[in-house]
Amino acid sequence: MSKTLTILFIGDIVGNPGMNAVRLFLKSFIDKHHADIVILNGENICNGKGVTEKEANELFALGAHVITTGNHIWENWQSRPLLATNPMVLRPYNYPPGNAGKGMTILELPNLPAIGVLQLQGRTYMQSIDCPFRGADHAIAKLREKTPIIIVDFHADATAEKISMGWHLDGRVSAVLGTHTHVQTADATILPKGTAYISDVGMTGPYDSVLGMSKEVALKRLLLQTAHKYEMAEHDAKLSGVVLTIDRETGKSETIEPFQYPPMRRSIHE
């Protein structure tokens, strides 16, 4: 048996173009990296707002083990029954008590160690919800009673808040992976105490867009400074995420490898 565990984490899936990218490319990435565990962020699947049982079931059939979400999950009322009934679909842990769903889970599969998955949401430029740092401390104390392998999806706007969370959790979790801003960052690293970190894993969806939104609508909003109906973009769908290798016994990460597929254009001649 290998001494390491391979985890594939797929960034924010946006609309049907993002689902199509998962349908087309996920299996080949699972096979290529011999991934043991697949975690996907699905908060933007339903035209940018939430995920329902239909999409979740398809993602599980395609190979997902856990689906994380984020603040947009609450904008689709059909997401709430899913959160309430499926413990492998998470919402941010640090929302006030009384909201549907859970913010962490323990995944237990045959011939694999237990894996903890925790989702947190930042507060800077976002809702004034409970503190993600204190929430992390509380949740991780519980998760570490069962496993040292813990993956954190930190759904946040501000890079400084994400980096701070990485340092706060270094050595206590296997990875802190940023989501929400839809642009893959170039700061993937293994922190000194063994925690893999990246500020944002990137968007799985249409890149001929403004973060998944129609370019025309996004430009109208900025140029005219008035509301315009959200319209999903459709073209140039890519799969984005990271591949992690983690020591099964210690929970420390050994490597983090970001990817985007198909690759971004680097030249007008491509």
CATH of the domain at 198: 3.60.21.10
**3-class SS at 107?**
strand
Residue 214 in contact with residue 229, Cβ under 8 Å? no
Instruction: Determine which one of 72, 155, 180, 182 is catalytic.
Output: 72
Check residue 214 and give its pLDDT.
87
Query: Is residue 27, in this structure, part of any structural domain at all?
Result: yes
Q: Is residue 60 situated within a structural domain?
A: yes
What pLDDT does 231 receive? Answer: 86
Spatial distance between the Cα atoms of 132 and 97, rounded to a whole number of angstroms? 14
How many CB atoms are closer than 10 A to CB 229? 7
Predicted confidence (pLDDT) at residue 266 exceeds the cutoff of 80: no
Supply the pTM of this predicted model.
0.95
- 270 is a domain residue: no
pLDDT digits (tens, 9 = 90+) for 117-144: 999 999 999 988 999 999 999 999 999 9
- For the segment 195-232, what is each residue's pLDDT rounded down to a tens digit? 999 999 999 999 988 888 888 999 999 999 998 888 88
Residue 111 lies inside a defined structural domain of this protein? yes
pLDDT, residue 7, reads: 98
**What CA–CA distance (Å, rounded) separates 117 from 88?**
9
Binning the chain into helix, strand and coil, the percentages to the nearest 5 are 25, 25, 45
Is residue 267 included in any domain, yes or no? no
pLDDT at 269 over 70: no
Tell me whether residue 269 is one of the annotated catalytic residues.
no
Residue 268 within any structural domain of the chain: no
Task: Grade residue 2 by pLDDT with cuts at 50, 70 and 90.
Answer: confident
* C-alpha distances out from residue 12 to 40, 63, 70, 163, 230, Å: 7, 16, 9, 19, 17
234: helix, strand or coil: coil
Residues 146-151: what's their mean pLDDT? 97
Q: Which residues contact 12 (CB under 8 A, 6 or more apart)?
A: 18, 41, 43, 44, 70, 179, 180, 182, 201, 202, 203, 204, 205
Residue-range definition of the domain harbouring residue 77: 4-261
Cα dihedral sign, 78-84-86-89: positive
Mean pLDDT value across the chain: 94
pLDDT-based confidence at residue 233 (cuts at 50, 70, 90) = confident
The pLDDT value recorded for residue 241 is 97
Percent of the chain scoring above 90 in pLDDT: 84
Q: Could you tell me the pLDDT band of residue 76, with boundaries at 50, 70 and 90? A: confident
171 neighbors 194 (Cβ within 8 angstroms): yes
For 49-70, what is each residue's pLDDT tens digit? 889 999 999 999 999 999 999 9
58 located within any domain: yes
Residue 177 has pLDDT above 90, yes or no: yes
Counting the structural domains of the chain, the total is 1
Residue 268's pLDDT is: 65
DSSP secondary structure letters along 169-193? HBTTBSEEEEESS-S--S--EE-TT
Amino acid identity, position 101: G
The pLDDT tens digits of the residues spanning 89-103 come to 999 999 999 999 999
Q: Residue 269 falls within a domain, yes or no? A: no
> What is the SS3 assignment for 24?
helix
Q: Is the pLDDT of residue 267 over 80?
A: no
